[in-house]
Structure 1
């Protein structure tokens, strides 16, 4: 189990790096309009075919996935930092602070997730910045509850009580004793959150509240491709969509494996 998980981690990191580097190498000239090559089905020359402007769909998908990975990573890290801060504050701040954070968490989790994302992203001007801020402000809730539960459990341990008896401050105890023990759960939470942020970025863009049509993005490709599905150009939507789902499923599976390593008694395979 451990060896397979390490191999999956290595493969996931390699895939991320490959997609990112390949996407950065795709230039505007490589995506230039070529009406002589439009509406071409998938072939060895164009693996994903070409679109209505003759642009190579494989190169467009690589460029879009590269941007999605950057947005997803930034959103995940930002939401993770917020979750750790809020979860630790709830566990160490006393009953009033805990009650206020519980109320805030319930309010955020009680609102329809996609609608809240749309409102926040629209408020901050859409685009990559609006998407990242929207996901940071809406994706911290689940992980913050996990962090709170872990901190509550650890703070009653003997070594934390000993640190208090020596007059250590709450901040010192949090950074020196609590957060290192919370890190494995935090890492698993980040990996599980990452595919959700990628899907939500594509969903927002597909609905017209994310990236603009002039920016590369899988959501932009899928939204534009809907107009041409009825003409038989299935490859313009199917292949980019399957590529996105493959990346999402890979990291979802990776998160499950990491969770099984951290809780071996819950593993079933």
Structure 2
């Protein structure tokens, strides 16, 4: 289990770092090599501008992972703050936060992502903001439910009678209990964030055409599939699928490590 987490994490980290420090010349334009099929010199073939699809796919997946990590981290912090606040404060605060959760979950997710990304000017910043502010509702509900279980426990009641503030109780007793659930939820946010970033870019509301991104690569490939250029969408799509499945697998294994009893549920 830990070996799987280590290997999957190492692969994803290697892809991200490779894309960060990659020279643009590796996936640069070379019209002399247009539409070359997969070979030893070009493992994933080349596209309509002669760009090497292997290096371009790695760069695109690296950008997607970076956006997914940043957006998931922000979204998870929002969920943690809202979930704890709703459970501890109760009353109007709980009703307002629950209403916000219901509103976000009641709207079609992709439509909400497109609207926010468009309002923020699209591009990498628009995608990151859209993903960050739309992925907290479900985790907020999970955190709120966990806090409600602990809120009335004896040691929390004892701390309250001793005169400790709500902040001190949350810091010392609530957050440590919620942390395992929070970490699992954070990891499981990554595949959703990566897929939604790719979806937005595929539809034209994400990264510009000049920035390598899996969604943009797949969008460009759609124009050439009918001409038999199958490699343009097959390999980038597989890389995206593998990354999403690895993140999902890490989340499941981490859940079993932090909460062994969940395997019997």
> Shorter-chain TM-score category?
over 0.9
Q: Equivalent residue of 2:23, what SS?
A: coil
Match of 2:73 among 65, 71, 77: 77
Q: Equivalent residue of 1:227, what SS?
A: coil
Structure 1 runs of 4+ aligned residues shifted over 6 Å read none
What aligned pairs does 1:220-239 form with structure 2 within 5 A after superposition? 220-239=216-235
Whether 2:53 is the aligned partner of 1:62: answer no
Q: Distance in 2 between matches of 1:159 and 1:263?
A: 21
Give unpaired runs (5+ residues) of structure 2: none
Whether 2:230 is the aligned partner of 1:246: answer no
Partner of 1:117: 113
Match of 1:215 among 211, 219, 222: 211
Q: Distance in 2 between matches of 1:91 and 1:268?
A: 27
Partner of 2:84: 88
What aligned pairs does 1:42-61 form with structure 2 within 5 A after superposition? 42-61=38-57
- Please say if residues 45 and 232 of structure 2, whose CA atoms lie closer than 8 Å, have aligned partners that are also in contact: yes
Q: Distance in 2 between matches of 1:115 and 1:235?
A: 30
Q: Report the more deviating stretch, 257-266 or 175-184.
A: 257-266
1:268: how far off? Answer: 6.2
Aligned length: 265
CA deviations 1:56-111 (Å, max 9, x no partner) are: 10000010011111100001000000000100110011221111111111111000
CA deviations 1:213-234 (Å, max 9, x no partner) are: 1111001100111111111110
Whether 2:8 is the aligned partner of 1:12: answer yes
Q: Distance in 1 between matches of 2:175 and 2:244?
A: 28
What aligned pairs does 1:80-159 form with structure 2 within 5 A after superposition? 80-159=76-155
C-alpha distance 250-209 of structure 1, shift in aligned 2 (>3 A): same
Partner of 2:160: 164
Partner of 1:37: 33
Give unpaired runs (5+ residues) of structure 1: none
Whether 2:254 is the aligned partner of 1:258: answer yes
Q: Distance in 2 between matches of 1:23 and 1:182?
A: 34
Whether 2:17 is the aligned partner of 1:21: answer yes
Q: Equivalent residue of 1:167, what SS?
A: coil
1:259: how far off? Answer: 2.3
C-alpha distance 226-141 of structure 1, shift in aligned 2 (>3 A): same
- Please say if residues 34 and 49 of structure 2, whose CA atoms lie closer than 8 Å, have aligned partners that are also in contact: yes
- Please say if residues 39 and 45 of structure 2, whose CA atoms lie closer than 8 Å, have aligned partners that are also in contact: yes
Q: Distance in 2 between matches of 1:193 and 1:32?
A: 32
- Please say if residues 43 and 54 of structure 2, whose CA atoms lie closer than 8 Å, have aligned partners that are also in contact: yes
CA deviations 1:165-216 (Å, max 9, x no partner) are: 1111001111111111111000100111100100000000000011111111
C-alpha distance 268-181 of structure 1, shift in aligned 2 (>3 A): closer
Q: TM-score, length-normalised on structure 2?
A: 0.97
1:141: how far off? Answer: 0.4
